[in-house]
Amino acid sequence: MKPTEIKPDIYWVGAIDWAVRDFHGYVTPQGTTYNNYLIMDEDITLVDTVKYDFATTALKNIANIVDPAKIRNVVINHVENDHVSSLDRVMALAPEAKIFITERGLQVVERFFDVSPWDITIVSSGDELKIGKHTLQFLETPMLHWPDSMMTYIPEAKLLISQDAFGQHLATSARFDDEFTRCASHAELEEAVVDYYANILMPFGMLIKAKIKEIGELGLDIDMIAPDHGIIWRSEPERVLQMYGDMAAGAADLSVAIIYDTMWHSTEIMTQPIMEGIKDAGVDVKVIKLRDTPMSVAIKEFWKSRGCLVGSPTLNNEVFPSVAQFMTHLRGLRPSNRIAGAFGSYGWSGGAVKWLFSELEQMKLETVEPGVEVKYRPSPDDMEQCYAFGQEFAAKVREYHKQF
């Protein structure tokens, strides 16, 4: 993909990763992009670098516009490997360039590279860099989503380069939202935003709320948001800001995700009357079997629904391993504003449901107890109990949902 001029004298010079399907354990069925931006001005400035494997592509894109040796500034908004691991390749070609990075960003970069030959300036919120007709204003966004993270705002271009925030894992020849939605639906784009938020930004809702408020109070005039992954928000930047604001405030569908695994199908059989009970109570419901579903998809489905029921058999007095893995992953994402319950089956002694409730309570989620736990195969009475449980849970979800 050739460079794309996204604003006068500002170019996307990134790379499209059409093939990646496992992004540090997170499934990316539609690949991703690594975006970085070249600003042609008196002091030519590169904002962000790309994943090491794509350094040659990005450098070729830069060379299509200017000799990389002429780059005077390199801004590093975020130091995760997919953005900073080719910094040494860039600096080898642009040895005169100064690097601008947060203090905490430098602490990470020092662990990857010998930075002693480089001219590095620490920046923080409020600092500015005048590069000619453009000004770069730095805005730290700690824990969105790493301690080092920051954004770069260019007032003359009304452009916010937002690093991971507002990104999506989408490999596409479209560079802009309106290009993407010419061939795909808005729903597909929004699904990618939700997927990204659920798996990466879920723990940071309070920080996101505060940062969006801060951006509003700063009065930044933004007509384009350029993240480091996926499409650039040219047509409707306010759409993604609104989505982030809504998700940070707890937005979810009035629906239930039943997320389970099963040994000899007993727990699986229970999902059907529970699902029917929820559906008959007028609440949408989706059933997700963990071993057949990538973890990041299960997390996304959890995040989209107001309610979640987790199902597990008891194995060797413990919860089923794939369910334990899901719960561990979920706990790390610090979910909130969701209501949950548990169900499962056992042979000679139970325990999984009790363990699930203790985990849900540790996550400080609203719970509907005691759930349902059946011995061996669900009997007709058990099936009726599961149906009633589904109805009861749906009613609780509906009531809980009213506060949002």
Which are the catalytic amino acids?
24, 78, 80, 82, 145, 164, 196, 229
Is the CB of residue 66 less than 8 Å from the CB of residue 97? no
Is the CB of residue 295 less than 8 Å from the CB of residue 259? no
Q: At what angle do helices 352-362 and 321-332 cross, to 10 degrees?
A: 10
Nearer Cβ to ligand FEO, position 84 or 374? 84
Size, binding site for ligand FEO by CB under 6 A: 9
Nearer Cβ to ligand FEO, position 23 or 400? 23
Residues 128-157 interacting with ligand FEO (rule: CB under 6 A) = 145-146
Q: What residues have CB less than 8 Å from 122, skipping those under 6 apart? A: 101, 102, 103, 106
Nearer Cβ to ligand FEO, position 24 or 182? 24
User: Is residue 216 exposed (0-12), middle (13-18) or buried (19+ Cβ within 10 Å)?
Assistant: exposed
Residue 228 is a binding residue for ligand FEO (CB under 6 A): yes
User: Cis ω on the peptide bond leading into residue 237 (within 30° of 0)?
Assistant: no
**Number of residue whose CB is nearest ligand FEO:** 80
Shortest spacing between CB 125 and ligand FEO, in angstroms: 19
Nearer Cβ to ligand FEO, position 104 or 229? 229
DSSP per residue, 12-53:
E--EEESS--EETTEE-TT-EEE--EEE-SSS-EEE----GG
Shortest spacing between CB 77 and ligand FEO, in angstroms: 10
Nearer Cβ to ligand FEO, position 80 or 276? 80
Q: Which helix (H) or strand (E) holds 341?
A: strand 339-346
Nearer Cβ to ligand FEO, position 80 or 236? 80
What's the full length of the chain, in residues?
A: 404
User: Cis ω on the peptide bond leading into residue 83 (within 30° of 0)?
Assistant: no
Q: What residues have CB less than 8 Å from 283, skipping those under 6 apart? A: 254, 255, 256, 307, 394, 397, 398
Q: Residue 66 has which token pair?
A: 């200017």
Nearer Cβ to ligand FEO, position 211 or 229? 229
Residue 104 is a binding residue for ligand FEO (CB under 6 A): no
Q: At what angle do helices 380-401 and 266-280 cross, to 10 degrees?
A: 50
Is the CB of residue 344 less than 8 Å from the CB of residue 377? no
Bridge partners, residue 105, by sequence? none
Residues 59-98 interacting with ligand FEO (rule: CB under 6 A) = 78, 80, 82-83
State which amino acid sits at residue 239.
R
Residue 229 is a binding residue for ligand FEO (CB under 6 A): yes
User: Is residue 279 exposed (0-12), middle (13-18) or buried (19+ Cβ within 10 Å)?
Assistant: middle
Residue from 17, 48, 164, 261 binding ligand FEO (CB under 6 A): 164
Bridge partners, residue 373, by sequence? 344
Nearer Cβ to ligand FEO, position 145 or 338? 145
Residues within the interface to ligand FEO (CB under 6 A): 78, 80, 82-83, 145-146, 164, 228-229
